[in-house]
Structure 1
Amino acid sequence: MLHTTVSPEIAQYYNVAFWSLPPELEFYVLVPLLAWLAQRGRWWFPALLVAALLAHLALARWGVPGQAPHWAVVANVHWPALWIEFLLGCLAWRGGQVLAGRLPPRHWLLPAMLAAALLLWLAAAMLWVAWGDAGVDARRWLRGNLGLWSACAYALGLAALMAWLRRAQDARGPAAVHGAVPGATGAGASPWWVRLSLLGGQLSYGVYLLHNAALTAAGLLWPQTAGWTRLGLAVLLTLAATWALHHAVEAPARDWGRRLSARLVARQRSRARIEA
């Protein structure tokens, strides 16, 4: 889990997506602290957001690629520099809730946010396609900031989608979204797009983890294929492996965690009643 402390190149040796696992765990470890601070006052989250942004900008300026294992280069692919991107995810979740409760139905702001998010994402993608990693790293204003640029686009779009999803839930009741079961039929079944979204959510993390590996595996398994054929095989391989991973590992681990949490909560409530 600390392979990127040696050099960013090592992160791409086995599977490119694996570079992001350490900063994810680093953020999850700090989630209880973030929750504790947020309970101490509303101003804490904006203060942390500003601090995370300043830390990212400073590290992006100091962490020149090619100088690994320089501490600033290492920090750029770990929690200190990527903290702002995780906090933008928190902001998107909260922003979607606020927008759902305050905007009138069919307000123009939500589609405008989605359009702006798409334009921001496409602009970042086109810059990378045109200049590549070397060109991006050669520009000080862009070096280390392309990920933040993309995170802003995703946060903007997710806030709008969260608002729409919350409205759908309020219109159909809590079971319309959170209690929906993929594949359910009958009068009480959720719309097809909700079931498809839930299935996409179940497979999304595995798709992220395995899609790069599937491209390599497709080339090893079917070396005679190329182009769209190999891409199609890689997509099918990714979805199949992801579905198996979800049912063999993710779902059982999640259910175990929820049962453990329920037991701990019940124990705390029982202890509180006894003390009362």
Structure 2
Amino acid sequence: MSEAILLREDQGPIAVLTLNSPGNLNALSDAMLAALRDVLNVLADSRDIRVVILRGAGKAFCAGHDLKEMQAGRAAPDGGRAYFADLFARCAEVMQMIPALPQPVIAQVHGIATAAGCQLVASCDMAVAAEGTRFGVNGVNIGLFCSTPMVALTRNVPRKIAFEMLTTGQFVDARRAAEIGLVNRVVPAESLQDETLALARQVASKLTAAVRIGKRTFYEQAQMSLADAYDHAARVMVENMLWRDTNEGIDAFLNKRRPDWAE
């Protein structure tokens, strides 16, 4: 019996998801997108999982869409129009589920993250990359501009840098990816798993409800004007301040003791 295309391993409050299709560099095939959508739906309702790690099996994180599947879609009477529209809609749904997930999602990246694979990294809340990892939105090299990956990329890196990557198809290495804000940190390849887990554990140690409301507000305020963002964030902080566990956390800090949180 073949192994699942997407693996899940829970390490306490951390869910580790592994794209498990190394033969095609963990491409976002129809099956992979369906598996991601299903597991993200399950995680959205989980009260036990506080952080999610997303990684790839084999020698790469993710090489983007499955080009063989895409070419096969051209056999339809409409030349593939309906299939392509559905494919990009399904991919956009998955990419939007990640920032909408209550838990922070950390991409653990190695090898390559190209096209929709780079989009996947950009859609995660944080990313840790191994030295030597390469990132690219290189569809233009085969005549397909990475228009949907562009959406996530331009919300992570400066516009001129994103435009250069999109129009030249050139790759950036992990160090450059950190400089432009695509990843949070770069670590030796042999330390990638440990460093990513350490970051996940640090986040998981915080008050879960505070991290969840904070993540939601982070993305909400980013879409608002400056004044509206301050008004919205202030309302959220009032709500947060009135929690029992926040009162306990502040009291514990002032009295130099560990907080006794209910969660």
Taking structure 1 as the reference length, the TM-score comes to 0.28
Choose 1 or 2 for highest CA Rg. 1
**Larger helix proportion, structure 1 or 2?**
1
**Larger strand proportion, structure 1 or 2?**
2
Taking structure 2 as the reference length, the TM-score comes to 0.29
